[in-house]
Amino acid sequence: MKPTYIPEPFRIKSVEPLKMLTRKEREQKIKDAHYNLFGLNSQDVYIDCLTDSGTNAMSANQWAGVMLGDESYAGATSYQHVIASATEIFGFPYIQPVHQGRAAEKVLMPLLLEGKRYAIANMFFDTTRGHAVMAGGIPIDCVVPEALDTSLRVPFKGNMDCKKLVELIEQYGKDNIGVIIMTITNNSAGGQPVSVANIRETAKIAHKYGIPFMIDSARYAENAWFIKQREEEFKNASIKQIINECFKDADYFTMSAKKDAIVNMGGLLGTRDKAMFEKIKQRCISFEGFVTYGGMSGRDLEALAIGLKEGIEEDFLKYRIGQLEYLAARLDEEGIAYQSPVGGHAIFIDAKKMLPHIPWYQYPAQALAVALYIEAGIRGCDIGSYMLDRDPVTHKEQEAQFEFTRLCIPRRVYTQAHLDIIINALVAVKKDADKIKGLKIVEEAPVLRHFTGKLELLK
């Protein structure tokens, strides 16, 4: 069956030109960037799949909102609009805007980990892991084992391993654990969804032991779409009802709005605890700005208030996930392995399978990302042993659970023809895969090294 492409539920009003360099130029550009894709200039990239974060195309309505943004320091109407949209969607009594997801983590994590040692998540995203470490905590991943087999097609590979969670709590002691986090969708496991049943069970365990339960909700709308498709109980529910079901047992939520709220900048932090909200506001004022703007300009707040609603529209989500499903179906035809079934925001190519001759400590997923850039100017990134920082205690290199080259699809930005270019590039790289070389790190920061690290190609 020919893979289907769900047509865009919009037409295009504004465009940005793209230009493709020659292969020789790209070889030089990536060398100059020390084989770190974050070091490339955007004009040297043809299709930018580095992230789906803040790279989305806003709607005409959102741009109209930008003009209406209220830039008052205190009490702006745009702030009120964000709170109204977010309260309607998440149902939390106390919500604080912040400038992006990691700002929410910076404000909240030290409060949750004060006097505690551990934080447990289905899987931490890199910044969340970094903030847990910087707050003096030890982050522990507790994803279901099915997630580790990229060829296993099960519906909710992002889930928490609840049996292991209980064992970890018993082992480390409930009083030493500051927070249990559910990342929806589970980015580090391949944008894999988490079921409502699993959220309910995890919340129940957390509350039984008196541990706060938090949702890292960067891609909560995509998660809700998967629940509607895959969890029997919710097949007739609206996206809003599903979201309500996901958040009702959570004590906190953090959100990078740069993903599912389809904006270029923004974040949210929610709590149900009034005393904690007071502390959050104080930290927010110190780090982000006054509570009614939280590090954002009024125009960004306005775009966020509108984007929150657009991001949960069913037509949009159907097309959005449809793009990923189209990519995945085409890769199946070509025999290219990825974390399957495909997740919400990106295709996670299994670099271990594509480059079996490169060991983990020579960063196969980074090597594949470099090769794709050289092949067609496509910029992806490593979600593997290069991205995983050294062990915070022993400072040794750590082998990641996966070696993924992540190719994100920004929302409402690229067309079917762009997706075909990505597929053709992967096919071409696979053909000559045995010629691709591993990498070594020559310079690295102690935390979040993948952003600024410098690498060299091995001979």
C-beta closer to ligand F0G: residue 127 or 202: 127
Residues facing residue 455 across a β-bridge: 441
C-beta closer to ligand F0G: residue 302 or 382: 382
Residues facing residue 378 across a β-bridge: 47
- Please tell me which residue in 119, 132, 218, 376 is annotated as part of the active site: 218
Under a CB-based contact definition with an 8 Å cutoff, are residues 441 and 454 in contact?
Answer: yes
Q: Where are the alpha helices (DSSP H) in 158-273?
A: 162-172, 196-208, 220-230, 239-247
253 is catalytic: no
C-beta closer to ligand F0G: residue 106 or 116: 106
Complete DSSP assignment for 103-145: HHHHHHHHHHHTT--EEEES---HHHHHHHHHTT-EEEE-B-G
- Residue 370, Cβ density class (10 Å: 0-12 exposed, 13-18 middle, ≥19 buried): buried
Choose one: 34-42, 96-104, 288-296, 319-327; the region binding ligand F0G (CB under 6 A).
Answer: 96-104
- Please tell me which residue in 116, 352, 430, 450 is annotated as part of the active site: 450
C-beta closer to ligand F0G: residue 53 or 56: 53
450 is catalytic: yes
- Smallest gap, in angstroms, from Cβ of residue 345 to ligand F0G? 8
Draw the binding track, 281-320, toward ligand F0G (x: CB under 6 A; -: no contact).
----------------------------------------
Choose one: 97-105, 130-138, 291-299, 448-456; the region binding ligand F0G (CB under 6 A).
Answer: 97-105
SS3 160: strand
Under a CB-based contact definition with an 8 Å cutoff, are residues 177 and 389 in contact?
Answer: no
- Smallest gap, in angstroms, from Cβ of residue 9 to ligand F0G? 24
Tokens of 142: 């507790």
SS3 195: coil
- Smallest gap, in angstroms, from Cβ of residue 195 to ligand F0G? 17
Residues 138-177 that bind ligand F0G (CB under 6 A): none
Residue 188: CB atoms within 10 A of its CB come to 29
How far is residue 4 from each of residues 263, 281, 416, measured CA to CA in Å?
A: 28, 47, 10
350 is catalytic: no
**Does residue 405 touch ligand F0G according to CB under 6 A?**
no
125 is catalytic: yes
CA-based diameter of the chain, in Å?
A: 60
Under a CB-based contact definition with an 8 Å cutoff, are residues 10 and 322 in contact?
Answer: no
- Smallest gap, in angstroms, from Cβ of residue 235 to ligand F0G? 26
C-beta closer to ligand F0G: residue 324 or 358: 324
Q: How far apart are CA 417 and CA 423, in angstroms?
A: 10
How remote is the C-alpha of 279 from its chain's centroid?
Answer: 27
What is the signed CA dihedral for 323, 329, 333, 334, rounded to 10 degrees? Answer: 50
373 is catalytic: no
**Does residue 95 touch ligand F0G according to CB under 6 A?**
no
- Smallest gap, in angstroms, from Cβ of residue 113 to ligand F0G? 16
Residue from 33, 218, 358, 425 touching ligand F0G (CB under 6 A): that is: 218
C-beta closer to ligand F0G: residue 265 or 436: 265
- Please tell me which residue in 44, 52, 126, 300 is annotated as part of the active site: 126
Question: The tokens 């974040």 sit on which residue?
Answer: 267
Q: How far apart are CA 59 and CA 340, in angstroms?
A: 31
240 is catalytic: no
149 is catalytic: no
Residue from 125, 225, 234, 316 touching ligand F0G (CB under 6 A): that is: 125
Residue from 26, 35, 44, 51 touching ligand F0G (CB under 6 A): that is: 51
- Sequence-separated (6 or more) residues with CB below 8 Å from residue 171: none
Draw the binding track, 248-287, toward ligand F0G (x: CB under 6 A; -: no contact).
--------x-x--------x--------------------
Residue from 36, 59, 62, 100 touching ligand F0G (CB under 6 A): that is: 100
- Please tell me which residue in 216, 260, 300, 382 is annotated as part of the active site: 216
Choose one: 121-129, 148-156, 204-212, 326-334; the region binding ligand F0G (CB under 6 A).
Answer: 121-129
Tokens of 105: 């983590």
- Residue 271, Cβ density class (10 Å: 0-12 exposed, 13-18 middle, ≥19 buried): buried
Q: How far apart are CA 383 and CA 365, in angstroms?
A: 7
Residue from 56, 78, 122, 127 touching ligand F0G (CB under 6 A): that is: 127
Q: Are strands 177-183 and 267-271 parallel, antiparallel or unpaired?
A: unpaired
Draw the binding track, 180-199, toward ligand F0G (x: CB under 6 A; -: no contact).
---x---x------------
**Does residue 53 touch ligand F0G according to CB under 6 A?**
yes
**Does residue 26 touch ligand F0G according to CB under 6 A?**
no
- Please tell me which residue in 31, 32, 60, 73 is annotated as part of the active site: 73
Q: List contacts with ligand F0G (CB under 6 A).
A: 51, 53, 100-102, 125, 127-128, 183, 187, 216, 218, 256, 258, 267
Task: Give the residue numbers marked as catalytic.
Answer: 73, 125-126, 216, 218, 259, 450
